């Protein structure tokens, strides 16, 4: 009796294929046919799971967000039992930059998603939800650090939250070879050193 392929498993395999195509060739080359070939399925099979490129990209982004969270969660134990919030922020920021193959693929997929979201209201709303959730997480971490006396209480929480998020803007500079990874990490460290007092 033939094994039934799990629907989620197949969709995740297609999402991985989309990652690889976007990472290697760019979003413009990530046609349904190209992704189907990369995934080792027929175009008809792919269309059974995703009705459009947008649907495929949306699922890939949801899958990517979970994969990124899992990578961060998997690295947290290396920081010790009660990690300093500065260490946590550095880990998160470093993971958001294209500093290793998985993060680079995520970064390129994110860039494609943002470009699509600029012209698609549904995608824009979905992207906004994810970004607001990420901002809330950073804001809460900073709020707690201020309450614990690790950041001066006169710091503006909203501004500091946005400045932390702005550090992910190193991505195009890294991708285009304008700066090297060490320079981005040094800038992140310098900002965090200025922010945290204890």
For residue 109, is pLDDT > 80?
Answer: yes
Give the best-scoring range by mean pLDDT among 58-72, 75-89, 140-154. 140-154
| % of the chain residues with pLDDT over 90 | 70
The whole-number average pLDDT for the span 3-11 is 76
Which residue matches tokens 């090297």?
Answer: 180
Cα 40 to chain centroid distance, Å, stands at: 26
Mean pLDDT, range 79-99, rounded to an integer: 93
- Check whether 198 has a pLDDT greater than 60: yes
DSSP code, position 177: T
What is the CATH T-level fold of the domain 57-195, as seen in this structure? Answer: Tetracycline Repressor; domain 2 (1.10.357)
Which residue has 């699922």 as its token pair? Answer: 59
pTM of the predicted model as reported, rounded to 2 decimal places = 0.84
**Confidence grade of residue 5 (pLDDT, cut at 50, 70, 90):** low
Q: What is the pLDDT of residues 15-26, one digit of tens each?
A: 999 999 999 999
The number of beta carbons lying within 10 Å of the beta carbon of residue 38 is 20
């Amino acid at each position: 009796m033939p094994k039934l392929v799990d629907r989620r498993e197949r969709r995740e395999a297609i999402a991985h294929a989309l990652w690889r195509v976007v990472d290697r060739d760019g979003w413009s080359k990530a046609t349904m046919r190209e992704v189907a070939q990369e995934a080792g399925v027929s175009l008809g099979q792919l269309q059974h799971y995703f009705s459009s490129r947008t649907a495929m990209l949306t699922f890939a982004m949801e899958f990517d967000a979970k994969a990124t969270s899992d990578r961060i969660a998997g690295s947290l134990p290396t920081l010790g039992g009660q990690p300093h919030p500065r260490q946590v922020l550095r880990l998160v920021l470093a993971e958001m930059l294209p500093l290793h193959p998985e993060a680079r693929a995520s970064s390129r997929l994110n860039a494609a998603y943002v470009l699509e979201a600029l012209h698609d209201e549904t995608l824009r709303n979905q992207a906004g939800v994810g970004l607001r959730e990420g901002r809330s997480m950073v804001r809460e971490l900073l709020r707690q650090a201020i309450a614990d006396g690790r950041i001066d209480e006169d710091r503006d929480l909203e501004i500091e939250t946005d400045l932390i998020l702005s550090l992910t803007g190193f991505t195009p500079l890294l991708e285009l070879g304008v700066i090297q990874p060490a320079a981005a990490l040094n800038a992140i460290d310098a900002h965090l050193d200025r922010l945290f007092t204890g």
